[in-house]
């Protein structure tokens, strides 16, 4: 099964994609996580991407499409995948379609629908593990020990792009460049719209019901 998660920054793509990937034992690929790791490691990709990410802008399509192409070439995506944060422009969606044209393509694009007020609340409260990328909410799902990841003991950090003015910019970029991706999948009857308000567990139950699969919640 080949799945992609769409939705505003903070709509819960990472939270749901990680959960689904664990339950289905499928690879989860977040372009945001890959880019943040590249920034931390100061690779050429990271040095190039950092200025866009800090400003809340998208990294150029060619860079991101090459990144996904490399993952495909490595064989990591051969037995299905869950993508989160990609595609987020129509050229990226077209490139993804072409990359997997030899297989059965994308099965579903799952859109998590959340209003902007809730987004601002969530992102201002988010913490994520520097080592394993598990996501916490300081109010909704706090770690057991402050500042430390429950899963791996790693350090919890706040993302640089979760500053209020950058959140605003990211929301504007989504409306302009990523909304058309929803339309791209809707036209192809591949869009699964999931109301994104409720607990992560409730939303996960909606996702698996929408996909018509059976896994433990």
Q: Which residues are 30's β-sheet partners?
A: 84
Q: Kindly state the smallest distance separating residue 173's Cβ from Mg ion, in Å.
A: 15
- Does residue number 81 form part of the binding site for ligand AP5 (CB under 6 A)? no
- Contact code string over 145-164 relative to ligand AP5, x by CB under 6 A: ----------------x---
Reduced to 3 states, what is the DSSP secondary structure of residue 193?
strand
Catalytic residue among 19, 36, 71, 170: 170
Catalytic residue among 88, 108, 122, 206: 88
Is 47 in the active site? no
- Does residue number 53 form part of the binding site for ligand AP5 (CB under 6 A)? yes
Return the range that interacts with ligand AP5 (CB under 6 A); candidates 83-91, 148-156, 181-189, 208-216.
Answer: 83-91
Residue 178 contact among Mg ion, ligand AP5, none, beta carbon within 5 to 8 Å by kind: none
Q: Which residues contact 15 (CB under 8 A, 6 or more apart)?
A: 135, 200
Q: How many C-beta atoms surround the C-beta of residue 93 within 10 A?
A: 24
Contacts made by residues 167-171, CB under 8 angstroms, sequence distance 24+: 167/9, 167/10, 167/56, 167/119, 167/120, 167/123, 167/124, 168/56, 169/55, 169/56, 169/57, 170/9, 170/56, 171/8, 171/9, 171/116, 171/119
Q: How many C-beta atoms surround the C-beta of residue 65 within 10 A?
A: 20
Is 159 in the active site? yes
Work out which of 203, 206, 207, 211 binds ligand AP5, going by CB under 6 A.
Answer: 203
Question: Known catalytic residues?
Answer: 13, 88, 126, 159, 170
Binding site for ligand AP5 (CB under 6 A): 7, 9-15, 31-32, 35, 52-53, 56-59, 64, 85-86, 88, 92, 122, 125-126, 135-137, 140-141, 161, 170, 198-200, 203
């Amino acid at each position: 099964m080949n799945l992609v998660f769409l939705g505003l920054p903070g709509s819960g793509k990472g939270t749901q994609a990680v959960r689904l990937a664990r339950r289905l034992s499928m690879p989860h690929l977040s372009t945001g996580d890959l880019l943040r790791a590249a920034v931390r490691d100061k690779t050429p990709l990271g040095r190039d991407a950092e200025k866009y990410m800090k400003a809340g802008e998208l990294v150029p399509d060619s860079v991101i499409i090459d990144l996904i192409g490399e993952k495909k070439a490595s064989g990591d995506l051969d037995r299905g995948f869950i993508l989160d944060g990609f595609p987020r422009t129509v050229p990226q969606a077209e490139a993804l379609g072409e990359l997997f044209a030899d297989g059965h393509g994308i099965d579903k694009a799952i859109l998590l629908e959340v209003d902007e007020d809730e987004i601002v609340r969530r992102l201002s409260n988010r913490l994520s593990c520097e080592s394993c990328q598990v996501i916490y909410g300081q109010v909704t799902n706090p770690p057991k020990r402050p500042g430390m990841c429950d899963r791996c003991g790693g350090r919890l950090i706040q993302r640089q792009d979760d500053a209020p003015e950058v959140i605003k910019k990211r929301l504007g970029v989504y409306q302009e460049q990523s909304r058309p991706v929803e339309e791209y999948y809707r036209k192809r009857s591949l869009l699964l719209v999931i109301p994104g308000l409720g607990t992560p567990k409730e939303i996960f139950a909606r996702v698996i019901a929408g996909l018509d699969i059976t896994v433990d919640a």
